[in-house]
């Protein structure tokens, strides 16, 4: 006899509080509080993804930020257990060991949570980790404001009593995100090893690494040694790694001076290196390029990027607020590998002769589409065979697939997107 497990149905518990969100321009959103009654301030950003809030909230790249989820209904599938592990012994549904955002903003919190894996509701999870949340606010209006004016500092207060707005103003007056170094908060304190010690090693410089990055390095056949963000080149190479990965993470890449110094040595010594997200920016700075802050960043699971090696568009998962100045790459030895089809920002680069590649998006996804998992496989090929000018076999196969439908529609798509953006800019000026 087959016995089917009953799917749990859990109800909200830590909700119904008074709550306010105030932005640095003075805009106030009144809503309903959930999670842990408290007050926090941080940079307010938005993510357009429809699913994956457990992965999103535990992404270390959100450190220091208040996150607004644009998808209106959140919390309906609850929160699973950290004890559910994958084949590598890593938590299957989380990207770190804790919630990383400072606060959460959503439109509608589901009254109940029901899923075979859920053991608690979203409001209970936030309460246990002492994080405030606010719902019943117009997240569409908030997102439109952030898109128009750029990300802003904001403050949230969740309370069992009436809230005095002077408290939020006081919190905003001392709030800061720019120039802060979040590395001591998100990086490992010492070396950690994952996988079979009999396998070749890849070192991860942990500037806020997600578990899924470690998972995908192990998937390609390596064990992982995770080192602190400020590990020196000599400390990194003492493990005799086949390659080095510089991970994702929060904040301005220019504050990661120790990592930039190590990355510069990796470039000079032609060590096989892969940069992801913040690691992409760090490698660019180490090679002599420059970075800048985007107006409202790229955060979502449907960001189109063009692979300039085969002219194919991939749907990517992204979470970053800084980008690389494309003109600054001219004298670095790097060339653009991926370009964003929405705004033409640099989404990846590769060295012209050295075994060094980097991507701004998240090839590991989690959450999001798995279209770009091949980045890890290409890194494995680079470790084994070095850089090659010709398109690698997987990209060649993808190129043939694209050619069957012709590449002209892809180019037309990108050109039309550019023309529409220019038209929107002109309308905004008027």
- Catalytically active residues are 277, 362, 364
The Cα–Cα gap between 111 and 78 comes to 10
Tokens found for residue 217: 């390095």
Residue 340, beta-bridge partner list:
305
Q: What are phi and psi of 262, to 5 degrees?
A: -65, -40
Chain centre distance of CA 147: 18
Contacts of 378 (CB under 8 A, 6+ apart): 357, 392, 394, 395
Q: Give the dihedral of Cα atoms 171, 173, 178, 179; nearest 10 deg.
A: -100
C-alpha span between 307 and 329 (Å, rounded): 17
How many angstroms separate the CA atoms of 58 and 98, rounded?
Answer: 6
Residue-wise DSSP of 357-410: EEESSBTT-SSS--TTTHHHHHHHHHHHH---SSPPHHHHHHHHHHHHT-SHHH
Q: How many residues does the chain have?
A: 430
Distance CA(413)–CA(155), nearest Å, equals 40
Neighbours of 218 (CB within 10 A): 22
Residue 37: strand, helix, or coil: coil
Beta strand pairing call for 223-228 and 201-206: parallel
By DSSP bridging, strand 291-307 and strand 273-276 are unpaired
Question: How many CB atoms are closer than 10 A to CB 357?
Answer: 23
DSSP string covering 217-272, please?
HHHTT-EEEEEETT--HHHHHTT--SEEEE---SS-GGG-HHHHHHHHHHHHTT--
């Amino acid at each position: 006899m087959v016995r089917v497990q009953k799917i749990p149905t859990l109800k909200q518990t830590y909700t119904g509080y008074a709550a306010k969100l105030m932005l640095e321009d003075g805009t106030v959103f009144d809503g309903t509080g959930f999670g842990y009654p408290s007050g926090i301030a941080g940079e307010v950003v938005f993510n357009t993804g429809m699913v994956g809030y457990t992965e999103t909230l535990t992404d270390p790249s959100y450190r220091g930020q208040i996150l607004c989820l644009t998808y209106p209904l959140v919390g309906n599938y609850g929160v699973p257990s950290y004890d559910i592990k994958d084949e590598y012994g890593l938590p299957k549904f989380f990207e770190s060991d804790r919630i990383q955002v400072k606060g959460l903003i959503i439109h509608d919190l589901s009254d109940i949570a029901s899923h075979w894996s859920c053991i608690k509701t979203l409001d209970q999870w936030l309460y246990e980790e002492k994080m405030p949340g606010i719902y019943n606010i117009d997240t569409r209006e908030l997102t439109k404001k952030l898109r128009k004016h750029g990300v802003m500092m904001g403050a949230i207060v969740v309370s069992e009593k009436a809230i005095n707005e002077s408290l939020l103003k006081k919190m905003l007056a001392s709030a800061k995100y720019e120039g802060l170094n979040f590395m001591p908060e998100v990086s490992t304190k010492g070396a950690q090893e994952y996988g079979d010690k009999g396998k070749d090693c890849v070192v991860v410089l942990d500037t806020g690494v997600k578990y899924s990055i470690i998972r995908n390095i192990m998937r390609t056949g390596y064990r992982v040694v995770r080192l602190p963000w400020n590990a020196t080149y000599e400390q990194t190479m003492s493990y005799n790694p086949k390659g080095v990965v510089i991970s994702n993470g929060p904040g301005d890449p220019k504050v990661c001076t120790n990592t930039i110094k190590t990355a510069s040595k990796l470039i000079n010594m032609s060590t096989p290196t892969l940069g992801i997200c913040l690691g992409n920016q760090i490698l660019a700075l180490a090679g002599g390029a420059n970075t800048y802050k985007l107006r409202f960043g790229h955060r979502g699971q449907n960001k189109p990027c063009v692979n300039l090696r085969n002219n194919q568009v991939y749907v990517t998962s992204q979470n970053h607020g800084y980008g690389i100045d494309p003109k600054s790459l001219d004298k670095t030895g790097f060339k653009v590998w991926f370009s964003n089809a929405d705004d033409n920002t640099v989404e990846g680069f590769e060295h012209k002769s050295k075994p060094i590649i980097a991507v701004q998006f998240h090839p590991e996804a989690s959450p999001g589409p798995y279209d770009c998992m091949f980045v890890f496989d290409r890194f494995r090929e680079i470790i084994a065979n070095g850089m090659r000018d010709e398109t690698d076999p997987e990209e060649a196969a993808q190129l043939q697939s694209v050619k069957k439908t012709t590449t002209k529609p892809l180019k037309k798509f990108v050109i039309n997107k550019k023309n529409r953006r220019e038209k929107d800019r002109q309308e905004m000026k008027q």
